[in-house]
Structure 1
């Protein structure tokens, strides 16, 4: 069945566009993981579709010519296929699939369509990366340090048969993000394609590669000749929970020597190694300040293997998240947050001159395709589609239109960016999204969204959890402020809230006032504030320090007690940096902006949302918030997800989340009939 039929048939019954809803959000097919062929004329990518019946996403591999022709589905197995990489000759694609009950490496032969299983290992393969010479695969498996993957399998099976369930821990982490630790580590293996057993390149290291829980294969790179590999890991023993000292290590692929640390002198974060086309320079990202996970990444150039280093972007006040070399090695292309966009820059390797190329929307995983650049791009009205441009960021061409029919069937709110004078009289930016049914003569209730982080951003991208179009489709105007502390406005702008988490409320107050003045269709008497994580913390802070600002509040996974949050979270480096030390060394750093101290002022109705598997902001923080609201007699609800973490990810839970949140807003913000 063709992609057109799959996407268009459900919409054919709809004659007129309808306001955007959570069901439309979930129906959007998601592009990721695009990889350009060695010849530069084809792109393979992952396409995720939502299966509401199975309550999960399903992924398959698709391929398209760079000119947009020849869109073809490559894999059709009911189980997930992902992580595609081209073979060095461009005649096949390696990928991961769970079709045999465990995640293994498979190969799709393009000419015949044949699919072959490459690995049949007793453990799941979590990541893969082919070597440039086509002889080996780098793969990642979870093993117990000092044990082979076979021994690991035996130990895991024995544990599952035990009658007792207790676990003894002697150091941190005991749990991380949404998972209890069991002693296994993500290790880097070399798998020879011509036969032979996988080789653990870090057998005795009590450390992970890639970084947990969100690192990926971009943290690993083969040398240009394929004889060695550079990877990212944090080998700091008992300091793991309060250190951000990720380092780069080099090891030959035969594992004949122990990995060598390349960045030992830097106690902050080093990651994403990328070799120049001629293999003579290793570029990587490095932070400067230990414990600060949102420090500015600088691009470092190191003459390979042991030559001098220089900071290429010392004078560039932006933090690249992804980068790659030009074919001639004279430029580096980098993506960085900039004024609520995720844009593409060109950096001259010799002069360090930085030039913005594509400056609207959010670019995803750009890479070279001959004389062009292929990238994903999304914005506030469109999920990711594939595009290409020339090397100057011009002559842009759209490659895919996967969601064109679905987008044509919905009404979304138009959006615009605005600015105002915020804290310290500095320019602060925000976004206004109009209701889908916008009529300039009407007054609309306002959903005031507060982002997390706090060093995040609500910008020009298509979000699958906090998408303003779901509120616009329900008849709300949406206001989002990138307050001081947000990413993409310079490091000083971001750093200034360290030790003062209450400061962003000033920008939120000024920003809402500026929006109400600029946009006369906003009903300032009917505004509800919503936030998650730091945004949830800010909701609790607002409840006690701006109690007359809103008619209702929504707090998702937010702390009520910032002091206790240090003791019940997992990544201790975060509060130690943000609050200037530990609670016992600097108690005032936690108490001066602790929402708990202002509960006596609470009076605004609040919906509280929390997931049981959230180990970043634990569920008792949400329960404590709800307890306080109930004890004070404040109208309140508690939406509890026993199977979700810091995020609500399951499709049917997402529907319940959106329905509950919108019902809460409607209860307090709609005009009485």
Structure 2
């Protein structure tokens, strides 16, 4: 580790790695390296051997080999004025990329090659043009995060040959919103939303016989299915849950024999599928699960880590990768490659079989900059569960104060993953406290289930964590700050209405009023009913009790509100209401609105906006923690 201190602009020096894909015939693979160039992201596909001989292969992202290995499919945008997505093919044995197809005002997703490598199947999503600027809406949700109206979207399934000829497959029902597709021989399987309005969080599964050109609905009674792959002509494996703990119920892996025999491969394991560790150096598509013969490889969030597991169809479970955060992986013929990072190391590509790091894109940053491990504490919650708590001291001689960082979700987690923001705060003289209160991912369903409890046990967990760190390290309790985004923004708003413990606060993409959150956002009408309890007209008292806006008369802490104007996950009125109430009451407050950004500002916003956000946070704490 070096002695240089991070500045906000140094985020531009980091290489973001993603999209591992092993060649089906050769001992080679591709991955994507993305860098911030000027005020945008530039992605290149690299071709590498398993020993680490790497070369730049093409400009683009989302690479996918054809089954015969002759072509690599990828996305790029060579026409910068074109509003839409372009798909390209490049021959493996040499030659220039050529345009396969492009889609105006839309995108392809869940792309799957046909077994004969003669074409691809995909979900096609198009925003239809309209001569009128008036929006006539009859469905829910009204819009989606990022700013597009749902009413104008048309979803379809298409098959496109390698010559660019596209054919649409007739959908199984009118209200068709596919979320995932898989392909096995003549079976095209589609997971689709059951009903956008009445059952938005539930799914249905349909299988299309490519020979008979007929749809058949699978007889599954699970409320939610996220992924499915066929083992053979009759049996398949899938990820799903029964909704016992609401929307945030942990998924289990199931093996479908027939409608009367479905085996829970996880059995009593309370694992949290996928990588939910917070990280601000993650960019691009990643794999969470893969079926190889009779073995399923998958990533979970397990307390402070995101390991890779494998499980066989007879239930034999084994942890393959134990430490840090598995960001992506691919495996063929027992050759496993993966992208890993942790609190002290930025993402790089590794070979499991050779026990070797294959890339060194971020080595200079790790070598030259001050990056230190946090101290760890175990703190008892009020229900006797153990809270994982970390404290990262300042990297400077001067201690300007200590910032409590609160993650979003709430079902995500902090842990052994790289957070540039934490190292940046430490480089600017601030200590950082972070923890996983009740509601967090990785500790089981019971711990994560805070439906109807927002602002209660989770709030008290956070205060216990702060008090324990302050006492343990003899910190100045008069120099505390707090910040968080999304659910963390909600908790920041809640905290300033409950205590004067903090001298400054920064709330980001937050929630202040559950009434407006219910009726204005792309997930509000079903997320809020699940998390708070019922519709507003059914549970007025709870909505009021849990909304920071209705407790704003107690707020005194100087508050900076950061919000994106195209954030339709937590819409901008959430910030405007709270800002206005604080201003009217004479509380020191400031509102920073980011144009053309959405809920993902801190993770994938324009580079200059991400840097501006960092600077606003640091400046606010500098001025108000004295």
> In the alignment, what sits opposite 1:11?
none
Deviation, 1:658, is 0.8
Deviation, 1:518, is 2.7
- Distance in 2 between the 1:500 and 1:116 partners? 52
- Distance in 2 between the 1:453 and 1:16 partners? 34
- More moved, 406-415 vs 619-628: 406-415
> In the alignment, what sits opposite 2:137?
169
- Distance in 2 between the 1:443 and 1:195 partners? 61
> In the alignment, what sits opposite 1:184?
153
Deviation, 1:359, is 2.3
- Distance in 1 between the 2:321 and 2:455 partners? 33
> In the alignment, what sits opposite 1:666?
622
> In the alignment, what sits opposite 2:230?
275
Deviation, 1:502, is 2.7
Does 1:450 pair with 2:406?
A: yes
Q: 2:182 aligns with which of 221, 244, 247?
A: 221
Does 1:371 pair with 2:325?
A: no
Is 1:456–1:487's contact at 8 Å kept on the other side of the alignment?
Answer: yes
Give SS of 1:423's match: coil
> In the alignment, what sits opposite 1:415?
374
Is 1:552–1:604's contact at 8 Å kept on the other side of the alignment?
Answer: yes
- Distance in 2 between the 1:398 and 1:202 partners? 45
> In the alignment, what sits opposite 1:8?
none
Is 2:85–2:103's contact at 8 Å kept on the other side of the alignment?
Answer: no
- Distance in 2 between the 1:540 and 1:123 partners? 37
- Distance in 2 between the 1:45 and 1:263 partners? 38
Is 1:34–1:45's contact at 8 Å kept on the other side of the alignment?
Answer: yes
Give SS of 2:413's match: coil
- Distance in 2 between the 1:551 and 1:264 partners? 53
> In the alignment, what sits opposite 1:510?
464
* Distance 1:44-1:361 versus aligned 2 partners, 3 A rule: same
Is 2:158–2:166's contact at 8 Å kept on the other side of the alignment?
Answer: no
- More moved, 128-137 vs 337-346: 128-137
Deviation, 1:93, is 1.0
* Runs of 5+ unmatched residues, structure 2: 275-287
- More moved, 597-606 vs 496-505: 496-505
> In the alignment, what sits opposite 2:277?
none
- Distance in 2 between the 1:512 and 1:389 partners? 39
> In the alignment, what sits opposite 1:193?
162
Q: What pairs up with 1:130-169 in 2 under 5 angstroms?
A: 130-143=113-126, 156=129, 159=130, 162=131, 164-169=132-137
Is 1:40–1:369's contact at 8 Å kept on the other side of the alignment?
Answer: no
Give SS of 1:656's match: helix
Give SS of 1:234's match: strand
Q: What pairs up with 1:544-555 in 2 under 5 angstroms?
A: 544-546=497-499, 548-555=500-507
> Which structure 1 residue ranges, 4+ long, deviate > 4 Å from structure 2?
120-125
* Distance 1:318-1:600 versus aligned 2 partners, 3 A rule: same
Is 1:20–1:470's contact at 8 Å kept on the other side of the alignment?
Answer: yes
> In the alignment, what sits opposite 1:244?
201
> In the alignment, what sits opposite 2:571?
618
- Distance in 2 between the 1:130 and 1:169 partners? 36
Q: What pairs up with 1:179-578 in 2 under 5 angstroms?
A: 179-193=148-162, 196-202=165-171, 205-210=174-179, 219-223=180-184, 225=185, 227-236=186-195, 238-239=197-198, 243-253=200-210, 256-258=213-215, 260-262=216-218, 264-266=220-222, 268-276=223-231, 281-289=235-243, 292-303=246-257, 308-321=261-274, 322-327=288-293, 329=294, 331-350=295-314, 352-390=315-353, 396-437=355-396, 443=399, 445-463=401-419, 467-520=421-474, 522-546=475-499, 548-571=500-523, 572-578=525-531
Is 2:2–2:368's contact at 8 Å kept on the other side of the alignment?
Answer: yes
- Aligned residue pairs total 604
> In the alignment, what sits opposite 1:114?
96
Deviation, 1:544, is 1.4
* Distance 1:538-1:303 versus aligned 2 partners, 3 A rule: same
* Runs of 5+ unmatched residues, structure 1: 1-14, 145-151, 211-218
- Distance in 2 between the 1:592 and 1:556 partners? 21
Is 1:381–1:412's contact at 8 Å kept on the other side of the alignment?
Answer: yes
- Distance in 1 between the 2:20 and 2:297 partners? 17
* Distance 1:503-1:122 versus aligned 2 partners, 3 A rule: closer
- Distance in 2 between the 1:20 and 1:207 partners? 48
| TM-score normalised by structure 1 residue count | 0.84
Deviation, 1:446, is 0.9
